[in-house]
Structures are given as C-alpha cells and as structure tokens.
Amino acid sequence: MGLLPDDEIRNPGAGEPWLKSERDKALDEYFEGAHPKQLGIKYKRVPKAFLNSILNKLRYNFKKEGFEDQPGRAERYEVYQRVSRKGKRFTPNEIDFIRCHKELGLDVHITATILQRSVSELDQSWKEPGKVKEKKIFAPTLDLILAHRYIYHVYETPVISDKTYDDLVKEEKEYGGGEKALAAPVRPCPERIKTLALYLCQRHKDEQEAE
C-alpha cells in the first residue's frame, strides 16, 4: 500500500486522482528541480495540484482530518516506482524539504525514503549553505534578490527554494538597507538585473544537465 489509496490523492478542481505511478514520477522530477506548478500542469491538472495534493502533505507530514492520532503522510509514505538520487548533487527543492522535516523533528529515515537517498547523505545535507552568495556569485545581495524575484515573477521557474530566498531578503532588510528597492514593482527592471537573472537561470540549467 502506498502513501494513500488513489481515490484519496485528490485536489479539488484538479481532475482525476493521482495514480501512485504518477505521484512517484512527479516526486522524482520535483527533487530534480522542477517547479510544483509546472508538475501540476504537466500531469494535466491545475497548477497547484501537485503542491496541494502531494508535496505539502509529505513536506509537513499532514495528518488526515479526524485521524490525528495516526501517522502523517510522510510517515506513511511507501515507495511505488522511484528513481534513486544517491550520489547526486542536492537541489534547492531537496534542501528545502530536508529542512522542513528537520524542523518537524521527523526521523531522518523517513526523509531519506521520500528523497530516495541514504541517511548518511542527509546527515551531510544539513550543512548545505542556505545563502546563494556562498556559491561564489560576485554580486551584491540586493541584486541577487532582485534577480531571483524577476526569475520568479517573469520566468516563473525559480532556481532557489522559497526559504533560501526568504533568508536572503531577511538578511538584506536587517543589514543591507534595501527595503525601498524590495518594495518597488518587479517591472520596470534594470538591465543588469535582467542579465543576472538570465545568467542564474542558464547556470542552473547547465548544472542540472551536468548531473
């Protein structure tokens, strides 16, 4: 038995329930770096279908209403048809998922099963830097934030997790004084920000293809 009976893996307005094979294939693609909205559309459902029906229930160990005394979705997850990620570079999506489970205090074996990695790999991933500046991008933090914001709203294909972005914004507001720039509309956008956004997207694509 998998995560849920097929008739329970449903999102209002998303159409047909998710088959276990679809669920696992979508999880593989998400942990490789795909955006949740893209997966919802790819599997012929509304954009937030994957996020609401599968990912968030696993990420937050969602318990079924009325059965709060039973294990959550992450704890109940069983592999149906997955691809191993052992030895591959950690993606922002994986790091975000790992940190969320760590904050919930879940057993690392549960996280490893869902990610299809070894526990020893996850022990190392906790040390993964959360700041994209540690990737040796020589640009002011504010420019990086504006570039990632442009990527999110214009390209709609984020290359870092929401948590990493939020950490950057928090740091900039506390120490950089960029509140005014962050409050400005996404467009019009300076050419340097567009150029940086394009570079970040291309580099992310190159890294994925090299894996």
Q: What are 107-118's pLDDT values in tens digits?
A: 999 999 999 998
Is pLDDT of 208 > 60?
Answer: yes
* Cβ(180)–Cβ(5) below 8 Å: no
Alpha helices in 33-70 (DSSP H): 36-42, 49-50, 56-59
User: Encoding tokens for residue 184?
Assistant: 């400005």
Is pLDDT of 11 > 80?
Answer: no
Q: What is the mean pLDDT of residues 24-42?
A: 92
Is pLDDT of 126 > 80?
Answer: no
Give the closest residue to 159 by CA, choosing from 205, 209, 211, 94.
205
- Any residues with CB less than 8 A from the CB of 203 and at least 6 apart, and which? none
User: Encoding tokens for residue 143?
Assistant: 């420019």
Is pLDDT of 47 > 80?
Answer: yes
User: Encoding tokens for residue 92?
Assistant: 């922002």
- Burial class of 195 by CB neighbour count within 10 A (0 to 12, 13 to 18, 19+): exposed
Other C-beta atoms lying within 10 Å of the C-beta of residue 4: 20
pLDDT in tens, 143-159: 889 999 999 999 888 88
- The amino acid sitting at 9 is I
Quote the strand ranges of the chain, DSSP E: none
* Cβ(126)–Cβ(3) below 8 Å: no
The residue ranking higher by pLDDT, 206 or 195, is 195
The residue ranking higher by pLDDT, 124 or 204, is 204
- Any residues with CB less than 8 A from the CB of 132 and at least 6 apart, and which? 144, 148, 160, 164, 168
State pTM to two decimals: 0.55
pLDDT band, very low/low/confident/very high, at 178 (cuts 50, 70, 90): confident
- The amino acid sitting at 191 is E
